[in-house]
Amino acid sequence: MKEKINFGNMTAYPGEKLQGYSSLGDTGIEFPMTLINGKREGKTVILSSGLHGGEYPSIEAAIQLAGELTPEDIKGQLVIFHPVNVAGFLDRVSYIYPGSGENLNRFYPGKPDGTVGERAAYIFTGEYQNKADFFIDIHGGDLHEYLPPYVYYPGIGDEEVIEKSRRAACVLNVSYMVKSSAVTGAYNSSAINGTPGLLIERGSRGLWTKEEVEAYKFDIKNLLRHLEMLDGKVIIPEKPAKLIKRAEYLEARHSGCWYPAVMLEEEVKKGRLLGVIKDFFGNILEEIHADFDGIVLFMTVSLAVREGDPIITYGV
């Protein structure tokens, strides 16, 4: 059994549960953290919420789990961040950390002497992720985003790491499962560095319900049972998630007004009009069409869009 665990400025001994604030070096980013050092031997797992401050079901689920789980429940060590981007949460902004205007999930593995986001990612990697056996990053649709429940698992890294991540993803009760080719997200970088993990999406549009939070907690506890951290039988979903082998992530090429022409989870054919961007006089700036048959997996639902914003994702 590990004699103690150290994360940030906190140390927990076996059978101890600590709660307090930790920080990411000199970035100014401080966040609430719970350390649970179980009385029994097991893995070290990080559960991270709120890299984006407007993804409420995941943040509330992490807060509740941090309060409910005890050292008697846990085999090994569970580290919960709830949420990381406190400033973004309190300011009610999408994506970014208000102190720098950066998306904190885009700079991994980071740089020791870079921007705030790059330094935060570098510290997050070295002081937190690299100490874990598995990394769970929980998200959802941000304030202007609409999406169904789904899970990403890493597609780049050692094959054993990828397979451990995929098997873990299979126990989640979600609609879709996507093998990601990204490299700069927190869970992607974790896998490249040798630690399996995944990213779960649930909830959207700046809303949260008790039902969504309970569904999130059910999935996370089921995943912890799969990782042999909680007692009990792993519950395999009755309906497996649909595997998305190809996904197209479309971004706005103009700033203006966004008018989607499809519905979430609608099956679209190649050539189908997905949406239109207009200027403030109602003139069409851009029409977006599908390049292949697929299912709409994500869409921006705000009228306002900026050039470079994600606006719609479809896949098959």
pLDDT tens profile 58-106: 999 999 999 999 999 999 999 999 999 999 999 999 999 999 999 999 9
pLDDT at 310: 96
Q: What is the pTM of this model?
A: 0.96
pLDDT tens profile 213-226: 999 999 999 999 99
Biggest alpha carbon–alpha carbon distance for the chain: 66
CA distances from 154 to 140, 186, 284, 294 (A): 17, 10, 37, 21
pLDDT at 4: 87
Which band of pLDDT confidence, cut at 50, 70 and 90, is reported for residue 301? very high
pLDDT tens profile 166-210: 999 999 999 999 999 999 999 999 999 999 999 999 999 999 999
In the chain the domains, ranked by start, together with CATH numbers, are 5-242 (3.40.630.10), 246-315 (2.40.50.100)
Whether residue 236 has pLDDT greater than 80: yes
Inter-axis angle of helices 56-68 and 210-226, to 10 degrees? 60
Under the phi-then-psi rule, with left for phi > 0, alpha for psi from -120 to 50, and beta for the rest, what region is 188? Answer: alpha
Assigned token pair, 178 = 């996507």
pLDDT tens profile 265-283: 999 999 999 999 999 999 9
pLDDT at 1: 56
Over residues 147-162, mean pLDDT: 97
CA dihedral sign of residues 295, 298, 299, 301: positive
SS3 of residue 10 by DSSP: strand
Percent residues over pLDDT 90 in the chain: 98
Virtual CA dihedral for 243, 104, 62, 242, nearest 10 degrees? -10
